[in-house]
Structure 1
């Protein structure tokens, strides 16, 4: 959790500093064109079609069962498959861009055509290297060193940011920054590779001769389901904005976007818990420790739901003041819209946390389809209610769908956990806080042991 929290804090810090820095040295127009160019290759992050997460899950299962021969095959096949997919998509993307007037379509004038081409090539290489490094971090997760893998990626991002600052301050242009990103990410990937080979003996056996394409074919179903999750999220994020713009006014778009940003802050914080508990679920279920998996599921749901409930209560009380100072009085927490959006967030965090049990062992195909259908259904219901109810109609659609997903996901999670029952889960979430006292006692005992040893 600490490693994920550091990663989130690093992302926030980079965003807070880079925006005013680039605006100051590059100017609004040049910075805007850089953002437009950066957006194009960012879609290539989906080119792995979900294989990174699917292979990382299977690596964790194989290592938990000490099937290191299969781990070698999985990692060799995963790296090769993602490399081929990335090469195919980047080649296709660049071929299309080189034949269309994308600079004219995007309104790029300050960055020359030659500089744009160099920038896009470097950024595409950067995205491909990001995918490979993300897969390699799955090795640390499989070896129960998840935090180390996350810190490697965070350190690489910080190095990229420092390179950005140095180049921009010294007069660097877009293509130079893009090239620096690719070089730094490549160095980070190479360093992780050397560290993995030093730490884990089975990684040294990686070789193209161990690539087995049937292994990848067997992972296509869960991999595509990860892609479905991404598409469903994109439908919610972009579809809702397009719907409001079509049926209401740009002012409503601003109001909805500002309120959604506050809600998303809660979801990102909850993500620290779910991403941290994910590898532990994989190990527990792969090793057959059902009782441990049940306890993890209960504690994760309890922690995220109570945290979300507290954050919602705080935003209900202070949301108006936060919005007033943040938007300089331009946006107010419109009711009942704000309360409905907060309720949808509470329901979302509940089912999303429970779904981690299924995601952790690549059994999330059904949940992904339900999420996609639910997202489209929420937009359809919102389209019907928006003209009469305004923005509250769209929020109502998401509340209905998230409530349905709570029921769907919990049924599947409890089926996976076998011995767990709905009544036991809900009762534990509401009444069982003894683990907190046990955690404190464990912490005090650990501190005392360290003092004695020193």
Structure 2
């Protein structure tokens, strides 16, 4: 199959995923704001930060393992691919089990001294969400094994359908009258079913890359450690920036302000999700081309990504700046009406984010992202720290301004890292390939 057909198939699968995710997101806000009210919905969003933070539990090894498995498969080194997968699986199982055990006291939070009131009230919910997050991390690792073995499109469609059903089941539970705890249990049960479904698909499609620990190796983990530490910067920075902004907004403004921030931020990322689907589709091909020192394929992939930015990202950002406030108001049935300045700042942040994230994904696909990791972490910490005084002085507009500043900082950092890695001028592909 040609590069173009593989990329098209991967992109189509990702776009299906974006469509399903978008459908779930479109349903989530109006249903939950109606059933729970804007303030309780804001509280749920704050509790839902737990799965995002838990995404760090693989310590960056999941993404590194994918790059390693793709490169190993490109060189027909199946033993190396199995060792990378099972080593990361071992680490994930240990960390996930430890996290669930450490969360057990949350079940009794209401009876423990010196526990904040909101933790005491929602302790059992938080415990179940920790379990859900652990299952989510494992499901993504199994998905990574399928994607890296030539089944990117089919496994992505299966995963996204399962995730959409999970969201819809949670919304049905909320509409039926279940509270936070009941909805968290529904999420856990659905995610466990997704793990089982992906495990069965892996056993059928790639039997040699089976789930097990026989080929797990501490030395393999040690070899992947530098790239994994740098990879952790991505989920860490996103968690600090996205969830940190949510917590700052809720603490300094109100849960109602969170209920304004989240719909606008979600809507602003529609164009990013669509174009990101095409960008992510090129990542396995970019990693394979780098492993084979195929400079022609590398240039084609860079050209594809440049075209996506011009054709989709720029018009999408302009459209959101002009119509985003109207869309969010209609989407929420008039319950959330953001200001024009706030929407404009978020539209600008959306465009800048799309620019740097495209290049960062390509660097990540070949484990050439170490130089960018420090900038990403620094931008997240600085932006959240600056959000507190900005929110106090300018409200939600201050939050949006700090988000935009963070994105600009990331763009400068990824440009520098790309030039150093050779991504900016593919004349010597070995510089990139050496990173794999």
- TM-score of the pair, normalised by structure 1: 0.74
Distance 1:296 1:250 in 2: 43
1:64-103 alignment, distance < 5 Å: 64-95=74-105, 97-98=107-108, 101=111
Unaligned runs of 5+ in 1: 423-454
Checking the alignment, whether the CA contact within 8 Å between 1:357 and 1:413 is kept in structure 2 is no
| Alpha-carbon offset, residue 46 of structure 1 | 2.6
Distance 2:168 2:245 in 1: 36
Aligned residues: 414
Distance 2:97 2:208 in 1: 27
Aligned position for 1:308? 313
Unaligned runs of 5+ in 2: 1-10, 428-436
Q: Is 1:352 aligned to 2:362, yes or no?
A: no
| Alpha-carbon offset, residue 71 of structure 1 | 1.1
Aligned position for 1:440? none
| Alpha-carbon offset, residue 325 of structure 1 | 3.6
Q: Of the two structures, which has the highest relative contact order with CA contacts closer than 8 Å and spacing of 6 or more?
A: 2
| Alpha-carbon offset, residue 13 of structure 1 | 2.9
Q: Is 1:220 aligned to 2:225, yes or no?
A: yes
Distance 2:400 2:171 in 1: 40
Distance 1:388 1:21 in 2: 32
Aligned position for 2:286? 281
Q: Is 1:199 aligned to 2:205, yes or no?
A: yes
Aligned position for 2:62? 52
Structure 1 residues 62-115: Cα deviation after superposition (integer angstroms, max 9, x where no partner):
111111011111112111111011111111122455466489823877x9xxxx
| Alpha-carbon offset, residue 34 of structure 1 | 7.6
1:4-153 alignment, distance < 5 Å: 4-17=14-27, 40=50, 43-95=53-105, 97-98=107-108, 101=111, 105-106=117-118, 117=124, 123-153=129-159
The CA RMSD measured in Å over matched residues stands at 4.2
| Alpha-carbon offset, residue 9 of structure 1 | 2.4
Structure 1 residues 156 and 420: CA distance shift in structure 2, 3 A: same
- TM-score of the pair, normalised by structure 2: 0.77
1:146-165 alignment, distance < 5 Å: 146-160=152-166
Checking the alignment, whether the CA contact within 8 Å between 2:147 and 2:155 is kept in structure 1 is yes
1:343 aligned to 324, 330, 348, which one? 348
| Alpha-carbon offset, residue 276 of structure 1 | 2.0
Distance 1:249 1:126 in 2: 27
Distance 1:379 1:51 in 2: 26
Distance 1:162 1:376 in 2: 34
Checking the alignment, whether the CA contact within 8 Å between 2:20 and 2:161 is kept in structure 1 is no
Structure 1 residues 258 and 80: CA distance shift in structure 2, 3 A: closer
1:326-405 alignment, distance < 5 Å: 326=331, 328=334, 331=337, 333-335=339-341, 337-379=342-384, 395-405=400-410
